[in-house]
Chain A
Amino acid sequence: MYKNWWKILGALLVMYATIAGFLHSVPKLPILHESIRNLYFHVPMWFSMIILFAISVFHSIKYLLTNNATHDLKAVESVNVGVVFGVLGIVTGAVWAKFTWGQAWSFDVKQNFAAIALLLYFAYLVLRNAIDEEQKRAKISAIYNIFAFPMMVVLLFVLPRLSDSLHPGNGGNPGFNSYDLDSRMRMVFYPACLGWILIGYWIYTLKFRVRALDKYTTL
């Protein structure tokens, strides 16, 4: 039996975050103005993506240890969902950048590195398509997935700190962090992240169940 409470929790949290995200009061900042509210929509996408990719790595490791094809399906489906969240994150980031920096793609380090991190996972999906033999595909793609994950962590968390970025929270720009210490924003931001992560996880379980049905009933 599937327990449903976390799905309801996720839905409620996302609803709360959306409503409060629009209506709750936010600190007044010079350039950002109301677009600071994007913190509740754009940033949780990245959090969900990273969590989904982490789930994928976890299942890849499990696959290598057990050789159970179910783990391979879980790994690939969580990457699929993670990529969707990543693309949403990049697109919303570009829209926001268009009205804040004046250009949709201004070659900011964070934008570039996020794009490269997504490329890593596109490469993973290409690799999967390149191999026909099922077990071989599962094994090799699991290995590449584990190999790629530390690089993604380096890309998204370490490298942007080495160089200047226009992105809020970097290099002395009016960042979210210094302002969302202001507990007003935190009260919406944390539930938003948790809610979107739960929704992402939900979609991933759906995808996985469809995939598993596909595999075990039609064959």
Chain B
Amino acid sequence: MKKFFSTLLLLAISLQIFAQNASPSIEQSVYASGKIYVVVACAAIILLGLILFLFSIDRRLKKLEKYSDPKN
């Protein structure tokens, strides 16, 4: 687990290095393509939000199952 996180951290740092070159062009590419990526981002946010919400329901249900399980 620790290794995984350290790899992730390194990855994030290295991404930042890439992003320094790329950042001015992100907005340009968004504008150039007729702002379609705005819509993509919004749809992704909605999906992400709903999925996270589903996870919260799932967690709750798991607790319930633990409670009502006859073996426990």
Chain A binding surface SS class: helix
Closest to B41 in A: A95
Q: With A87-B49, A88-B45 as given contacts, are A99 and B38 in contact (CB-CB < 8 Å)?
A: yes
Q: Which residues of B contact A32 (CB under 8 A)?
A: 35
Q: Would B53 and A96 count as touching, CB distance under 8 A?
A: no
A91 contacts the other chain (Cβ, under 8 Å)?
Answer: yes
Q: Which residues of A contact B49 (CB under 8 A)?
A: 84, 87-88, 91
Q: Would B43 and A96 count as touching, CB distance under 8 A?
A: no
B22 contacts the other chain (Cβ, under 8 Å)?
Answer: no
Q: With A34-B36, A37-B36, A37-B39 as given contacts, are A92 and B45 in contact (CB-CB < 8 Å)?
A: yes
- B30, B38, B68: the one contacting A38 at CB < 8 Å is B38
Closest to B42 in A: A92
- CA–CA, A206 and B42, complex, Å: 25
From B4-12, B13-21, B56-64, the one touching the partner chain is B56-64
Q: Would B67 and A217 count as touching, CB distance under 8 A?
A: yes
A189 contacts the other chain (Cβ, under 8 Å)?
Answer: no
Q: Which residues of B contact A41 (CB under 8 A)?
A: 39, 42-43, 46
Q: Which residues of B contact A213 (CB under 8 A)?
A: 64
Q: Would A214 and B35 count as touching, CB distance under 8 A?
A: no
Q: Which residues of A contact B42 (CB under 8 A)?
A: 38, 41-42, 92, 95-96
Q: Would B43 and A218 count as touching, CB distance under 8 A?
A: no
Which residues of A are at the interface with B, using a C-beta cutoff of 8 A? Answer: 18, 21-22, 32-35, 37-38, 41-42, 45, 81, 84, 87-88, 91-92, 95-96, 99-100, 203, 206-207, 210, 213-214, 217-218
